[in-house]
A and B are shown apart, each in its own frame.
Chain A
């Protein structure tokens, strides 16, 4: 069983829509990362969470440690948000990061 799962696998949205991507994990963690990857491109770190909620611009990330679940929300989505969004966890500080399979988001004008 994969230690990190994401849903949905693929997501198509109209510009302006509110988007939610979910992540669940099965191991104890010290931190959860949300990452963005454009096609053929590098990985950009969006958030690192160990509890609660973080906001950056139109992006909001939440985590529920007890339920082993995190969500990434995008408000007022834009075509430039089209990318793969990856949830990844670290079991301990400075430990390797275990990646989820990613959610491919396409925002249509």
Chain B
């Protein structure tokens, strides 16, 4: 069964550093999403992406965040200057025909 692949599975970074989280969505999907889950809390929407542009973003997704689909297969989330409160599990998802959703296994980001 097709999968959404996320790398790395765990990343530790110093506060203030830039991080890039990578996702490879399912190949024939056209809609891409990033979500995050702070430890002990529910999953929150960050951003959706379609046709090479952001279609919706939450208030969490401020100027420190950006997304890109650099090469037609990868979908990346960049955090420019990480803060302690950015520590969370970040999930990528993609959606295709019929609206079916597939989530990745997540990247656990720890900011120290």
Residues of chain A having any CB pair with chain B under 8 Å: 30-31, 33, 35, 40-45, 48, 86, 88, 90, 93-102
Contact = CB atoms under 8 A, between A and B. Distances in A.
Interface residues of B, number: 22
Given A41-B106, A42-B91, A94-B31, A101 B101 contact: no
A42 B99 contact: no
Given A42-B105, A94-B50, A100 B99 contact: no
11 contacts: A40-B108, A42-B105, A43-B91, A43-B103, A43-B106, A45-B100, A88-B43, A94-B50, A94-B95, A97-B33, A99-B42
A104 to B, nearest CB: 11
A31 B101 CA distance: 11
Contacts of A31: 99
Contacts of A41: 105-106
A35 to B, nearest CB: 7
A43 B43 contact: yes
Contacts of A94: 31, 50, 95, 99
